[in-house]
Amino acid sequence: MRKGFTLVEVLTVVIVLPFMIVVLDGLFRTLIKDIPRSYKVVQANTSLISMLKEMQQDIDKAKGLPQTYNEYSSGDKLLLIDLPEGMICYQFKDDKVLKYILADNQPNNTEEQRVWSVPHAKVRWKVWRKDMSGYAVEVRTHIDYKLKSHLEKKMANSHLYFVGAL
């Protein structure tokens, strides 16, 4: 008797194999695309959280939140914080959040400058004011996550920090 496959065995493999390929395709797609993409979103969110912690510490120590300082004006892309050590500016620009000390209309390029890379993130802050004096900052953040042909907001958060909350 010769060894080989019967017709039933061959037909079974031919019928089951496509189903196995469909199941494994989803698994491989997840491993190759979704996990690295999710990892990038988590990294960007971690960077945002680090920036928010430092911003909270600065606002807690702040004397105030001025609307303008020299040629700088607070807005949704620029935040001015008046600290006892000097004026600090947070700026959202080109998928980065920059922090620097303002001195004589020029950013001071020393160790005080910080940069947080937040790719695909959106950061918006709004200073709450009463009688033209800022007393709190509302910060809204999220990360744009491209899924097929549309964008989804991931890790959306809203934070409220009060001046001198220590």
Residue 79 lies in a domain: yes
Q: What's the domain range around 23? A: 7-162
Q: What does the pLDDT read at residue 162?
A: 93
Range of 18-27, 108-117, 140-149 with top mean pLDDT: 18-27
* Position 145 in a domain: yes
* Residue in the block written with tokens 């800022």: 134
Q: Please write the tens of the pLDDT for every residue from 116-133.
A: 998 888 899 999 988 888
Say whether pLDDT at 56 is over 90: yes
Is residue 145 over pLDDT 60?
Answer: yes
79 closest CA partner among 142, 136, 121: 136
* Tokens coding 109: 């390029």
- Quick check: 109 pLDDT over 60? no
For residue 115, how many other CB atoms are within 10 A of its CB? 13
57 secondary structure, DSSP code = H
- Domain assignment present for 61: yes
Residue 21 is assigned to a structural domain of this protein: yes
Q: Is residue 84 part of a domain?
A: yes
Would you say residue 1 lies in a domain?
Answer: no
Instruction: Give Cβ neighbours of residue 39 (< 8 Å, ≥ 6 apart).
Output: none
Residue 2 lies in a domain: no
DSSP 124-144: EEEEEEETTEEEEEEEEEEEE
Q: The tokens 């004589």 sit on which residue?
A: 104
Write the pLDDT tens digit of every residue in 5-28.
788 888 898 999 999 998 888 888
Q: Report the pLDDT value the prediction gives residue 98, as an integer from 0 to 100.
A: 92
**Pick from 69, 68, 94, 74: nearest CA to 137:** 74
DSSP state of 75: S
In the structure, what pLDDT confidence band is assigned to residue 53 with cuts at 50, 70 and 90? very high
CB 82 within 8 A of CB 135: no
Q: pTM of the prediction?
A: 0.75
CA 39, 43, 48, 50 torsion-angle sign: positive
- Using one digit for the tens of pLDDT, what is the confidence trace for 29-39? 878 888 888 88
Amino acid, single-letter form, for residue 146: K
Q: Tell me how many domains the chain contains.
A: 1
**Does residue 117 lie within any of the structural domains?**
yes
